[in-house]
């Protein structure tokens, strides 16, 4: 009977995820606010239903009573997040709030399946991070001085990355984190946000070619420190984000072409200068040539994706733990193996819906600084998703970055929640601007 429930549940989960994803795009065509609110409510119901079905399977497989309390705690957390964001910030984007909660719930399902102890840690971090994130939109809305601190951001960002390069412990050959009071921090996750604010300020003040060179030099310094620390994934995210921000701020295709050319030359130079870069490329070209060594991770990832097929093996019916550090770098492979290719495609589409919504916010902001910040944060999010998914599928060399909200990692969870909270603050600013415009029209038609 248990096996039947597990096999049926995987199809139920796929159907629910497909409906949720479809509604993520239907909402963009909704003009009536009441219709959109009803659609968002249906998404919430679908999320809780999917969460319940998944944890029912986890309980049947694990047979641990504490799992019921853990499930209840997650339901309270998700419900509280939805209610608090909506009531504290009525003008916030419901779509981004829903996606944030949906992605976190998927992550909790998969991390619990892989390691119950890690899921407890992740849940505590998510709850604490959400409390912090709740204060961010009001700061963005009220503290207008943040638009003038470009050089403060530059010093802070470069200082943190430099500290990591010098003092951080090496993990899997990369210096990316250090431990303070038993808490492991990965500063590059937070510097990503600081970097976007820094570049937005510098690029908007850039009136001459010299100003562009200064901004580019500072961006290059961020990337170079990350490369020296062998944090290649973050280095690539910073590089692509700056390139997009530079092009949008200057509207000059020659800068984009020059950046792509310089990036290509830097990649070739890195291949010959750094042994870890050569290893990543060689593993990408043929992971099975060194199956027992460096190619083992990506080979197991490909096996997991192939085993999952379209409909997945079902929770606890696959072997995602055969992939080393699967809960961090290869969570997409674990999702695909046990929940299926259709579910994974829907997951990618939900992430794409987040990016589209962020771009929509960026395009409608009148303040050029906030517009660049929204664009930069959206680009960072999209690039990170692309690197994670592409790396696990052998589409691109593995970069070792996490899948936002879904993978295990405290720094990643906190920084992504802050990023989404910043975007919510910008969305609220946009709504404030539109309200002001409407009031001006009304008062213009009916003067006192």
Among candidate residues 362, 424, 430, the one with its CA nearest the CA of residue 95: 424
Whether 358 has a pLDDT exceeding 90, the answer reads yes
> Once rounded to an integer, what is the mean pLDDT over residues 287-316?
85
Beta carbons of 80 and 89 less than 8 angstroms apart: no
The whole-number pLDDT of residue 338 equals: 92
Q: Which of 302, 303, 309, 284 is nearest to 294 (CA)?
A: 284
What average pLDDT does the segment 121-150 reach?
88
Q: pLDDT band at residue 49, thresholds of 50, 70 and 90? A: very high
Phi, psi of 367, deg, nearest 5: -75, 120
**CA-based nearest residue to 240, from 337, 381, 355:** 381
Q: Which residues contact 369 (CB under 8 A, 6 or more apart)?
A: 147, 200, 201, 204
183-185 β-sheet, strand order: 169-171, 174-180, 183-185
Q: HSE-up of 30 (CA within 13 Å, CB side)? A: 15
- The DSSP symbol for 125 reads H
Q: Is the pLDDT of residue 169 over 70?
A: no
Report the chain's mean pLDDT, rounded to a whole number: 86
Summarize the confidence of residues 176-205 as an average pLDDT. 81
What is the pLDDT confidence band of residue 411, given thresholds at 50, 70 and 90? confident
Burial 408-442 (b: 16+ CB within 10 A, else e): bbbbbbbbbbbbbbbbbbbbbbbbeeeeeeeeeee
**Is the pLDDT at 351 greater than 90, yes or no?**
yes
Tens of pLDDT, residue by residue over 205-234, are: 888 888 889 989 999 998 888 888 777 888
pLDDT at 112: 94
Considering only 14-18, 194-198, 319-323, which range has the smallest mean pLDDT?
Answer: 319-323
pLDDT in tens, 236-292: 899 999 999 999 988 888 888 988 888 888 888 877 877 777 777 877 878 887 777
The lowest-confidence range among 122-136, 293-307, 378-392 is 293-307
Question: Tell me: the pLDDT tens digits for 90-112?
Answer: 888 899 999 999 999 999 999 99
pLDDT on residue 234: 85
pLDDT recorded at residue 178: 67
Q: Mean pLDDT across the stretch 427-448?
A: 64
Is the CB of residue 112 less than 8 Å from the CB of residue 162?
no
Sequence ranges of the domains in the chain: 1-142+284-432, 148-273
Its pTM stands at 0.91
């Amino acid at each position: 009977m248990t096996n039947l429930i597990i096999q049926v549940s995987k199809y139920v989960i796929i159907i629910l995820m497909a409906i949720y994803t479809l509604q993520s795009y239907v909402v963009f065509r909704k003009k009536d606010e009441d219709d959109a609110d009803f659609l968002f409510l249906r998404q919430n119901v679908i999320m809780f239903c999917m969460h319940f079905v998944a944890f029912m399977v986890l309980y049947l497989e694990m047979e641990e009573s504490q799992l019921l309390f853990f499930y209840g705690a997650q339901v309270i957390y998700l419900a509280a997040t939805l209610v608090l964001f909506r009531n504290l910030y009525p003008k916030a984007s419901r779509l981004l709030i829903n996606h944030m909660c949906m992605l976190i719930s998927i992550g909790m399902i998969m991390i619990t399946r892989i390691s119950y102890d890690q899921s407890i840690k992740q849940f505590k971090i998510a709850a604490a991070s959400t409390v912090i994130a709740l204060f961010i939109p009001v700061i963005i809305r009220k503290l207008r001085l943040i638009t003038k601190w470009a050089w403060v951001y530059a010093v802070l960002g470069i200082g943190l990355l430099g500290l990591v390069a010098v003092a951080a412990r090496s993990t899997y050959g990369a210096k990316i984190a250090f431990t303070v009071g038993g808490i492991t921090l990965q500063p590059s996750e937070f510097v990503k946000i600081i970097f976007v604010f820094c570049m937005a300020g510098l690029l908007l003040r850039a009136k001459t070619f010299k100003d562009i060179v200064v901004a580019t030099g500072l961006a290059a310094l961020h990337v170079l420190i990350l490369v020296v620390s062998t944090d290649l994934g973050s280095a690539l995210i910073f590089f692509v984000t700056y390139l997009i921000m530079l092009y949008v701020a200057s509207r000059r295709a020659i800068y984009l072409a020059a950046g792509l050319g310089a990036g290509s030359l830097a990649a070739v130079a890195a291949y010959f200068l750094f042994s870890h870069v050569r290893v990543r490329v060689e593993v990408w070209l043929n992971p099975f040539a060194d199956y027992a060594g460096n190619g083992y991770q990506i080979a197991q990832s490909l096996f997991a994706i192939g085993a999952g097929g379209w409909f997945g093996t079902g929770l606890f019916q696959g072997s995602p733990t055969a992939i080393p550090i699967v809960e961090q770098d290869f969570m997409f492979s674990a999702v695909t193996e046990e929940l299926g290719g259709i579910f994974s495609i829907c997951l990618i589409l939900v992430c794409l819906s987040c990016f589209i919504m962020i771009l929509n916010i960026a395009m409608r902001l009148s303040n050029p600084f906030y517009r660049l910040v929204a664009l930069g944060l959206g680009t960072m999010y999209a690039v990170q998703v692309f690197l994670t998914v592409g790396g696990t599928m052998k589409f691109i060399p593995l970069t070792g970055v996490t899948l936002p909200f879904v993978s295990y990692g405290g720094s990643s969870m906190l920084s992504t929640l802050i990023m989404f909270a910043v975007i919510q603050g910008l969305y609220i600013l946009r709504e404030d601007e539109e309200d002001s415009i409407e009031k001006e029209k009304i008062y213009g038609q009916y003067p006192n």
